[in-house]
Amino acid sequence: MNPQLILLIPVLPLLAFLANGLFGRWLGRAGGWLAVLCMGGSAVIGAVLFIGALGGRIALPVDVTLWQWLAVGDLSVRVGFHVDQLTCLMLFFVTLVSSLVFLYSMGYMEGDPGFNRFFAYMGLFDFSMLVLVLGDSLPVMFVGWEGVGLCSYLLIGYYLALPGAADAGKKAFIVNRIGDFGFLVAMCMLFKATGTLHIQTILGEAAAGANPLLRAGGAFVTALTLMLFLGCTGKSAQIPLFVWLPDAMAGPTPVSALIHAATMVTAGVYLMVRLSALFALAPATMLVVAIVAALTAFVAGSIALTQRDIKKVLAYSTVSQLGYMFLACGVGAFVAGIFHVFTHAFFKGLLFLGAGSVIHSAHHEQDLFNLGGLRRAMPKTAVTFFIACLAIAGIPPLAGFFSKDEILWQTFASGRLGLWVLGVVTALMTAIYSFRAYFLTFEGESRLEKAHGHGHGDAHGHGAVHESPATMTIPLILLAVGAVGAGFLNLPPLFLGGEGKEGVVSTFLEPVLAPAREIIAARAHMAAAGEAVHHGAGLEVGLMLFSIALAVAGLLLARHYALKAWPAAADRAAHRFGSLYQLSYHRWWWDDFYNLAVAGGLRGVARLATWFDRWIIDGILHTIGGLASLGSRALRGLQNGQVQSYALGFLVGVNVVVWLVLWF
């Protein structure tokens, strides 16, 4: 493939950023359409690249070197891109989903005073994400890594007048800096171990097994991968650094869709899969990843059960689904992890854009308890939102079923039964909270008039709730197609005729993930990482049916809760479950803990430092200065300019000297 076309993939969103940032005042609405066309152009090239590579018509990998960036001592870093099978998959869905979000934003942001500023930030956001994916070295990847962090800050705090928006942006920025510290430390350790920061060279050394610092199970490689995972927990919102993501809902809904579906939060999973050969060398780190991921999925899923803000429900859902992705990576099923990233992009993008459609038409109402009955007024949004709920709940044959069920099966097959139980319980909660959001929003009687007073539309100067414009519903329909069909790109061996058969994505990614698979296989003395070589097809079918039954049970429970027993069921649940309900509703008090222990602790340290500086440091300096001043005043009396005083002093001094001589 022509390298110039590869360069266009990130350059086109950069053009959208420059055009809207520099000339937005004159471009107006045309600047938005220019951004849509630029992002669409990147999506077309990404699709051609992915389909061509998938069909074998484009030879991979492809390397594009642009210029020498750094040459300091032994460190040499070039600005270059590396395109392999993993890159192609990421480019395909990142650009596709982003282009649909851009198109959706044309309707959602209509009339916004910062219209062109919004599209400038969005263009820079996608440019940064694409640089992250394409970078052939860790420093180049880190530029994109920091770029998405900056853009998340700008877009989360986009509504400058909205209370809490600026604080949410700062919170995202600061929390991500903690994770970025781990990434920086890991880069230094890798340079120490290998003498390079070029990703493919590092992976080659890891696979060769000749580097003593990259010895399987060694302390160095364990510490290295833990630092990398710290970076991943920041960007991909895992415990303990997940608290920024729910607050990111302060930004416009298209921003939420972009962050949660196509950019930013997928960066951590991508980094772990990209460096899978390194993680495979550290079984202790893999176990830590799996445990943290399972706990994150469970905790976030339990929080989503009781939230009233529709965007907060979806935000905690994203945290939970990211936990599934890392759980797959933690048990060595890297293909299952990245495939869930792929399918999740479609149904989570659809959920957020569907929520945005509701918010846009319901006059910015986000409280689920104040919605209801919108299916009649918004049939396209309702149907597509329901499809997304089916997909995320794991009901076949939609996309989420194939990716999530594969993760659960690989976790069970790896022998991590405790983690599998957490994953299964989380799957049940996923079905409950997703369909709870659907039924409370679209079914039953409308509660909008009751919440806002009779004649809500007239009183507030708005018309009745109606379907969103075509610029918003077309992306919903296209994402719904992806939520239905994306799972068929990687059918499990059970659907393909048994063991030895691989799905399309698994076969496609084999050249990239083979080193990690071989390392894990050699360590575990088994044929392949995470595969159920000792389990029969009957057990797999049984577990699959069990997970489907849980998804259906979750749907029925949510329907009963939201329709049959509403609203008394909410009060009964709060009373019956007591402290558990409060634990979920108050989000396990994570923010309160951080405010008390971290922010409060830092304030205490600051007060102690202020006291120490004032009374110890300044006290010592003031004491020394005071003594010098006192001494100078005493000596000043000896220099008064009177000759008789000097003569008297001379006489006294001579007498003292004579007396001392005679005495001794």
DSSP 450-461: HHH-TTHHHHTT
pLDDT for position 355: 93
State the average pLDDT over residues 367-385: 91
What is the per-residue pLDDT across 597-628, written as a single tens digit (0 to 9) for each? 777 777 888 888 888 888 888 888 888 888 88
Give the model's confidence band at 641: pLDDT under 50 very low, under 70 low, under 90 confident, else very high. Answer: confident
Higher pLDDT, residue 579 or 176: 176
Rounded distance between C-alpha atoms, residue 325 and residue 323, angstroms: 5
Does the structure show a pLDDT above 60 at 227?
A: yes
Does the structure show a pLDDT above 80 at 655?
A: yes
- What are the angstrom distances between the C-alpha of 129 and each of 9, 49, 123, 481, 527? 11, 17, 10, 24, 35
Does the structure show a pLDDT above 70 at 231?
A: yes
Overall pTM surpassing 0.85 (yes/no)? yes
Three-state DSSP class for residue 397: coil
Higher pLDDT, residue 585 or 187: 187
pLDDT for position 12: 96
State the average pLDDT over residues 191-196: 91
State the average pLDDT over residues 644-658: 82
Does the structure show a pLDDT above 60 at 302?
A: yes
What is the per-residue pLDDT across 47-97, written as a single tens digit (0 to 9) for each? 999 999 998 898 889 999 988 888 888 888 889 999 999 999 999 999 999
In the chain, what percentage of residues exceed pLDDT 90?
Answer: 55
pLDDT for position 427: 94
Give the model's confidence band at 531: pLDDT under 50 very low, under 70 low, under 90 confident, else very high. Answer: very low
Does the structure show a pLDDT above 90 at 496?
A: no
pLDDT for position 460: 39
Greatest mean pLDDT among 294-303, 363-372, 500-509 lies in 294-303
Give the model's confidence band at 535: pLDDT under 50 very low, under 70 low, under 90 confident, else very high. Answer: low
Does the structure show a pLDDT above 90 at 123?
A: yes
- What are the angstrom distances between the C-alpha of 92 and each of 5, 37, 96? 14, 16, 6
Give the model's confidence band at 530: pLDDT under 50 very low, under 70 low, under 90 confident, else very high. Answer: very low
Residues 6+ apart with CB under 8 A from 165: 156, 157, 158, 159, 250, 251
